[in-house]
Structure 1
């Protein structure tokens, strides 16, 4: 009986214990950071709050207002957790997600020549001196693929826009390994698949390409081929991607609408206006649903600013900034009242903090979200841990939770950071390590401030990036709490390989010789950018883009190309009062055997000139900077003969011969060359006193050129210099014996953005029996105001001028110039008092057909002349 009684009592006690165990769960520990021996400073603890997403619309230039909105968010301390962008919204959003703050975006917007980005021709300063005349020796150019005309998919292939985007976001894209969710702010862009009409969401791959595809306005920009799709402007299918921002995880979506309004009847004048109106109608209708789905809609008061007008950019940014003010209270109210869902099935009875200084306990306890009598869920505790860890003074934080669900004891345990004992850097040279340590804010012997230490990590990366080493990253950045030592392992971004893709005809060596980086080099962004510009500048490619992929944790540089058809047809036309009308036709094979050499046949026919040329040329020989050119030609030129101001005769000058040139390129701004010239010259008089006869010229010409003009015609800055020494004699097999020295020096400098000053000095010295055809000439609109072209000739030449040109409108210029100088037959004839003077000016327009110029000039002894030119010089 006693045995059964004991058994009964034991059973009751066991049941009671089991019941108590069920009612009082075991103690648990809540941590924010992973457990480890060392503190990973690259690990950023997530903020425990609801997420705000931005949906940025298209709108062309109107989209610059997005920058002002972002600036207002920054100043108000409103975090942006997700960005979904379409068209211009994808451009601004992509750059912001890549890490560019609003101030940087504003600077970029104000200091970028947006009009230049629409042009297809390479930058003039990226071309070799031997190629620069090719840009302006014709009126129109088209290419032949097979036996069919190659028609581009848009007015612009978008090369310069793609290059700009790539140079801005390449390093961020590489760090994110092509995953847009790993950017500073997760990002997605919208584009339109032209083959299916469907919306395409771009969240991985090449960020610059995604931005370019989303902003590829139909007709204006060529569509982008990406992952077997043909992508164009995202605004066609979804101009305001609110749903996409919601799908990314946003709890509160702010939509910013900068779309263009419908045009009025008076504005529907041109066919492209009507096309734009049709697209706008469908876009606006589709956007209504998205506007309604947003939690908050911001519409900057942009008015009727055209989407195609890249002017008043600062005003657009200001309107975007001011549009946020009325909505700040609504956003702050959401941030204050909306947090991550918190379960209230557990309640805090006691809350305490241990591990910090006693004087800090009460202050920190008051800042906690978990308070006695309130909820004590894991989510709420993690928010407190994130707050404590974010202070930067604790190396570790955790919380112990004990007690019953209705009476929890939440005990926060914090570990203060140790004293900093030293920095150890690996992966860089001793010199770089010494320099970097000197830049850091954290000081040895003081308690570690984790916030400051993370800023030091950013300082390390900024030091590399400011020096062009933009792929450098911190592989390891840890603090050892036991020793107080910080370890930084730096990957400088040493290139594993450089690869080329897309070149079907052009040899790899022709491409890689223009790219200055090789496997084993540390990636250097300015060099890589110059390489892409140089590759595009060869004229062999429709587009040239840079991409970086990661293989075995090392960067591989990808040069992605799209080749031009190599058969080129150039047509030219020009009119001036001196030679009247002229036309030209050139047929060129621009990539002979894939070597980059060109073979051109050119004919020019006009009232007073007829030229026929065959030209074989290469700007580079293998990997050297040697250049060669072999030309055969026949030129006929009807010329006038003057005696002072009177025309006394005319004759036809015929030249035929060959020239063989070998030279050395000097970067992209200069060249020196040696030319062998074998030429026959025949002068046949027509009327009056004109030269006659025939002569053979065999000469050697040594020439030096410098040309770094930023544009032509109407250059704004740069130098244009030429010096030449030519010797001809019987030793070369010719009949003419002479020595000619010539120099021309021009300097262009733009002052106050609109005024361009250009001084110029020209001299020529001749010795020996110089034939009439080789004498120096003076006169003409570009030489000396008031005189006809080549009105004065002689064996000696001196001429100087000062020109001032004002840009009245983007393509309209007014010019005034003063000339002085003269020509003489004998050296002893030169007198300073005999120098002629000329003054003149006029208006110039930069038109699609070439420059249109109307000038008037007057010179010494009553000479006056009107000059009218239309078209490039052929």
Structure 2
């Protein structure tokens, strides 16, 4: 017989950030002991409902809501990559481009969305993987039966997902068209269910719910066109308009509607999660009493069986003393009963019994209640699970409060959940319960091994070969899978750059198959077309307008290697590069690259003069110089993590330097064929090339050019640089930097170090001096930069900088001295525009020298004021 209440179904609406108030509603219902048997959810309601259904408590959901990086999950950037975790070669390629266009078999591939939704995909996959209950298969087997409502973008019809991957169902229901890529499921292209049923009360019909609760968190619309300043706000407004048309019919189907007081809160605002949860909690608390009274009205079916004035007896399976406690608990129900059917329902509602029945003797007016309590637990035997993770005492600890006493089904369930949660807390995501059994006082609990029996991979285009995929999956099938292994595998695969989206799900072994003890892990890979064209545009005060075109196959023969080239054209510099890069050779950490190059660079050089007058213009231009280099280089080495490598390289080139115009003392020029051998260590963990807020850059290089070909004098170079970015707060970053370079004598101008300017491929950064201001065989510099990103916008999102650096360049090492250092200060603003960063800097150099190459010190003097401006990425 069932408890004396109606079954309860919950319909959770969409609403973006507003949907987080549903956590507060669930929290209130749990505190008031309002049961939830079924959930149907749309969009954010599907996410909250899906996670609750597979075992997450409202408190855990609240914690998750606080810890998730919502801004990165809902970002509209095309790629969700962490720059610090991609290959160095990919960092350079992506850093210099403004637009990337992909082709498949020479046909342009138009992106179907502004975002691949990888951050959302990974978040939901890992949450589902770490749930208490297996989140794959039939959702009707979850503790709370669940359905997710989606829309088929092809037919426009509603599609309800009730089985399969829970994370994919949640993701499909919350995929906003245009912003995120649709979820392909067979022939269906699934997107946000809010298009057809934002509040799916009618979906509770499939559960035959006796009482239907609608939780409406759709929020309000934007009041003016000025507020619709971002694509996702326009999409949210369109969704809200569509949902308004559906609501009347759905609300009529609900027995009660819970509408948290959102007070005009926008669906895109995740800034005040505490308040969102609290308004849901308050509304849930206010209506919980009404709900409890309403669901308790569902008494036993059929006419009552009147036992008023009858003699009552209670029978247990035996006369054992262990049932005395049960009798004391239920004696009041039996003694006060007037209806046998209702008495049985109330006895079953105590949750202490597996079966109850009443034997009626109408002649003698006697009723005999037969009660079968849950078997008593005297001891616990736990088997399976990964060895050595939990001690026997820790395994048995959740069951100690139940030993030797009466307990409820709910208490028994919570004890089993606590055992699984102990493994989840240790990171073991695939350790689950087999069917427990209780015989002669011994509770036998069998756990799965936590291993994966097999790893299955599905690819939509089948471009990438098995080796690049298998080498990035960090899961060992011989040991239990832990959370960090699963996350690292997803990140590794995605950060190869050849996949739009990487998803992982676990499929549990069938409960009736005792020979299966390991889950199946499924990786689903949405591949990018391999051919890509990148375009970049740039303007700066030194080199004027420049353009970049980069064409390459980024997944050559399915190996994740790249083959292609790039062209840079400008008034003062031109580059043509043909490149082959192999980030990893097979499954090893070895790497190699080769390139043929042509690099022509024209620059102006001035003699830097310091004057006692702060606003003087004293520097004298000495001429324009043209450096042209072309040749071939190859490198071989090993990766150091994703963002580092150490290599040995060889470069064969023709190098020529000449003076285009002469107005002063000329730099040494010449022409030679050179063969150089070198080694280099590079580590780059910065989150951005131009506007880093964390991470470091380290580069150390040594090269030697022997007497060979027409090079008549051996020369060598040793250089290094380091950049340390220290976050001081969420918006402020301190950057410390330093660099050095030393050389032997006889280094041609084309190979010398250059110092000056904001920092380019040709000249090391020194704010206060023009680009290429100080050439030399030896350089040293150190810098300090404070960067602040204000919360508002200055036309575009912006960052403000204060900069100080000191250093110099010298021809001979014997000239190096602290007294001969030049100092530079500057202030800059950097805007993040749609076509790339825009940077404007005002700077001034000062020193205790008359000229930059002076050997004797003087009083404090200043050089010319230097302005820098650039728009676009540096390439």
- TM-score tier, shorter chain, comes to 0.7 to 0.9
Corresponding residue SS for 1:474: coil
Distance change in 2, residues 1:428/1:192 (3 Å): closer
Q: Distance in 1 between matches of 2:773 and 2:869?
A: 17
- Is residue 719–residue 747 contact of structure 1 (8 Å, CA) maintained in 2? yes
Corresponding residue SS for 2:70: coil
Deviations 1:167-222 (A, max 9, x none): 11135497254111222321111111122221111111111111111111122112
Give the structure 2 partner of residue 404 of structure 1: 362
Deviation at 1:380, TM superposition (A): 4.7
Matches within 5 A, 1:291-440: 291-339=251-299, 341=301, 343-345=303-305, 347=307, 349-353=310-314, 355-356=320-321, 360=325, 363-368=328-333, 370-377=334-341, 380-381=343-344, 383-387=346-350, 389=352, 401-404=359-362, 407-413=365-371, 420-421=378-379, 423-426=381-384, 428-429=386-387, 432-434=390-392, 436-437=394-395, 440=398
- Is residue 173–residue 180 contact of structure 1 (8 Å, CA) maintained in 2? no
Deviations 1:598-642 (A, max 9, x none): 111211001211000000111111111111101000000012223
Give the structure 2 partner of residue 683 of structure 1: 657
Are residues 1:99 and 2:55 paired? yes
- Is residue 84–residue 241 contact of structure 1 (8 Å, CA) maintained in 2? yes
Matches within 5 A, 1:57-456: 57-117=13-73, 118=75, 119-121=77-79, 122-172=81-131, 175-264=134-223, 266-267=225-226, 279-339=239-299, 341=301, 343-345=303-305, 347=307, 349-353=310-314, 355-356=320-321, 360=325, 363-368=328-333, 370-377=334-341, 380-381=343-344, 383-387=346-350, 389=352, 401-404=359-362, 407-413=365-371, 420-421=378-379, 423-426=381-384, 428-429=386-387, 432-434=390-392, 436-437=394-395, 440=398, 442=400, 454-456=413-415
Give the structure 2 partner of residue 845 of structure 1: 831
Deviation at 1:489, TM superposition (A): 2.0
Distance change in 2, residues 1:467/1:422 (3 Å): closer
Distance change in 2, residues 1:415/1:82 (3 Å): closer
* Structure index of larger Rg: 1
Are residues 1:862 and 2:823 paired? no
Corresponding residue SS for 1:178: strand
Of 796-805 and 233-242, deviating more is 796-805
Are residues 1:700 and 2:677 paired? yes
Deviation at 1:488, TM superposition (A): 2.8
Deviations 1:522-558 (A, max 9, x none): 3233212211221121222222211223456432222
Distance change in 2, residues 1:343/1:629 (3 Å): farther
Of 448-457 and 294-303, deviating more is 448-457
- TM-score, normalised with respect to structure 2: 0.87
Corresponding residue SS for 2:340: coil
Give the structure 1 partner of residue 780 of structure 2: 798
Deviations 1:685-709 (A, max 9, x none): 1112243210222111211111222
Distance change in 2, residues 1:173/1:190 (3 Å): farther
**Where does the alignment leave 5 or more consecutive residues of structure 2 unmatched?**
610-618, 760-764, 847-860
Matches within 5 A, 1:667-678: 667-678=641-652
Corresponding residue SS for 2:97: coil
Deviation at 1:247, TM superposition (A): 3.1
Corresponding residue SS for 1:651: strand
Distance change in 2, residues 1:58/1:476 (3 Å): closer
Distance change in 2, residues 1:156/1:489 (3 Å): same
Of 743-752 and 805-814, deviating more is 805-814
Corresponding residue SS for 1:66: helix
Distance change in 2, residues 1:241/1:623 (3 Å): same
Q: Distance in 2 between matches of 1:593 and 1:358?
A: 72
Q: Distance in 2 between matches of 1:275 and 1:738?
A: 62
- Is residue 380–residue 396 contact of structure 2 (8 Å, CA) maintained in 1? no
Distance change in 2, residues 1:405/1:613 (3 Å): farther
**Where does the alignment leave 5 or more consecutive residues of structure 1 unmatched?**
1-29, 31-45, 391-395
Distance change in 2, residues 1:518/1:445 (3 Å): closer
Of 139-148 and 432-441, deviating more is 432-441
Q: Distance in 2 between matches of 1:406 and 1:448?
A: 33
Match of 2:607 among 631, 635, 643: 643
Are residues 1:591 and 2:555 paired? yes
Of 523-532 and 311-320, deviating more is 311-320
- Is residue 134–residue 508 contact of structure 2 (8 Å, CA) maintained in 1? no
Deviation at 1:352, TM superposition (A): 4.0
Give the structure 1 partner of residue 471 of structure 2: 513
Give the structure 1 partner of residue 818 of structure 2: 832
Distance change in 2, residues 1:157/1:429 (3 Å): closer
Corresponding residue SS for 1:837: strand
Q: Distance in 2 between matches of 1:469 and 1:631?
A: 46
Of 165-174 and 347-356, deviating more is 347-356
Q: Distance in 1 between matches of 2:629 and 2:699?
A: 23
Match of 2:753 among 767, 776, 779: 776
Q: Distance in 2 between matches of 1:732 and 1:706?
A: 33
- Is residue 389–residue 397 contact of structure 1 (8 Å, CA) maintained in 2? no
- Is residue 347–residue 406 contact of structure 1 (8 Å, CA) maintained in 2? no
Distance change in 2, residues 1:550/1:315 (3 Å): closer
Q: Distance in 1 between matches of 2:374 and 2:13?
A: 46
Distance change in 2, residues 1:466/1:49 (3 Å): same
Deviations 1:29-58 (A, max 9, x none): x8xxxxxxxxxxxxxxx8653222221111
Q: Distance in 2 between matches of 1:51 and 1:411?
A: 25
Of 598-607 and 432-441, deviating more is 432-441
Deviations 1:754-794 (A, max 9, x none): 21122112122222322222222222124222111221122
- Is residue 768–residue 866 contact of structure 2 (8 Å, CA) maintained in 1? yes
Of 134-143 and 501-510, deviating more is 501-510
- Is residue 531–residue 553 contact of structure 2 (8 Å, CA) maintained in 1? yes
Deviation at 1:665, TM superposition (A): 0.8
Q: Distance in 2 between matches of 1:111 and 1:275?
A: 25
Are residues 1:747 and 2:747 paired? no
Deviations 1:254-300 (A, max 9, x none): 21212243444545877967776555433202111111221111222
Are residues 1:728 and 2:702 paired? no
Distance change in 2, residues 1:493/1:675 (3 Å): same
Deviation at 1:115, TM superposition (A): 2.9
- Is residue 566–residue 589 contact of structure 1 (8 Å, CA) maintained in 2? yes
Deviation at 1:386, TM superposition (A): 4.8
